[in-house]
Structure 1
Amino acid sequence: MTASELAETTLFVCVTCRAQVTEGVSPDQPRAGARLLAAIETMPAEHRAGIAVVGVECLSNCNRACTVAVTAPGKWTYVLGALDPDLHVQDVLAFAQLHQRHDAGLPAWRERPEYIRKNTVARVPALSMPR
């Protein structure tokens, strides 16, 4: 793995998440998590610079779906939930950019988008990097 790959932030998006409110959602529509992933992938490249966006199966946060996780080697990991694919794409990407720019992956609370501050599910310490 190259140094640039090690420095890259990864945004995992749960593609199996269902919408919190299922009223009016037709069964043939893509799940909310898949819609969130598609919306993130269609954002301009500068909003995703240095962020690898990866769709994953189930992040086990079904009670607060849609869910994403933001991580990078040697940095804290954040799990964010209760996201709406129609409303929170820019908040998610803004937070991922903040995470990327902070050495330890701990952006200042006040700098985070307000919705992200209120819907952080977990913060997990970084694993020690092998020497």
Structure 2
Amino acid sequence: MIELQGPAQAQDPAMRQSAKRHQILVCQTCRHKDSPCFPGLALLEKLRLAVSEAKGLGEDFEISGTACMAGCDRPCTVAWRATGKATWLFGDIDPDADIDALVDFATLYQRLDDGWCRAADRPGKLATSTLARIPAALIVTAEGQLQ
């Protein structure tokens, strides 16, 4: 097995992926009621492109499709998470109309130390389409220490 070091290590795709600090999850199973249309797939591709083109975001965000996030009554659902930050879940996202607001929220979330913000700080319909805000986890070790 070859061990990568220095510049070669930075070129390894697996290493680049794990170096990203923030993650955006897009539900791939979201669909319109009584329709075979899966708008989550379109949203995933549009969001990947928009974030990759936004200055300073593409290098710091991993954008992944995921299984159902239980927002079925309010498709499409999108979540933001990062170590040490609150996790956000939004619903009622339109793949065509809300891309700019999603990118703007990514920029905001990247700058927030703890991930917390007010509704008035969130762009577009993200101010009113919050399904959940989950505080960052505090993990207690067997020795009783917080991590």
TM-score, normalization: structure 2? 0.73
Aligned-pair Cα RMSD in Å: 2.4
Shift, 1:19, TM fit:
2.8
Which of residues 68, 79, 87 in structure 2 aligns to 1:69? 79
**Structure 2 stretches lacking a partner, 5+ long:** 1-14, 140-145
Aligned residue pair count: 123
Determine helix, strand or coil for the equivalent of 1:94.
helix
Instruction: Letter of the 1:61 partner, please give it.
Output: G
Determine helix, strand or coil for the equivalent of 2:24.
strand
Larger radius of gyration: 2
Shift, 1:46, TM fit:
4.1
Which position in structure 1 is the counterpart of 2:64? 54
**Deviation digits for residues 66-100 of structure 1 (CA, Å, limit 9, x no counterpart):** 00110100100000000010111121121122111
The reply to whether residue 12 of structure 1 matches residue 22 of structure 2 is: no
**Structure 1 stretches lacking a partner, 5+ long:** none
**Does the 8 Å contact 1:61/1:81 carry over to 2?**
yes
Identity %: 33
Which position in structure 2 is the counterpart of 1:39? 46
* Cα distance in 2 between the residues matched to 1:11 and 1:80: 11
Structure showing greater relative contact order (alpha-carbon pairs closer than 8 Å, 6 or more residues apart) = 1
Any runs of at least 4 consecutive aligned residues in structure 1 with deviations exceeding 4 A, and if so which? none
C-alpha spacing 1:121/1:32, structure 2 compared with 1 (3 Å): same
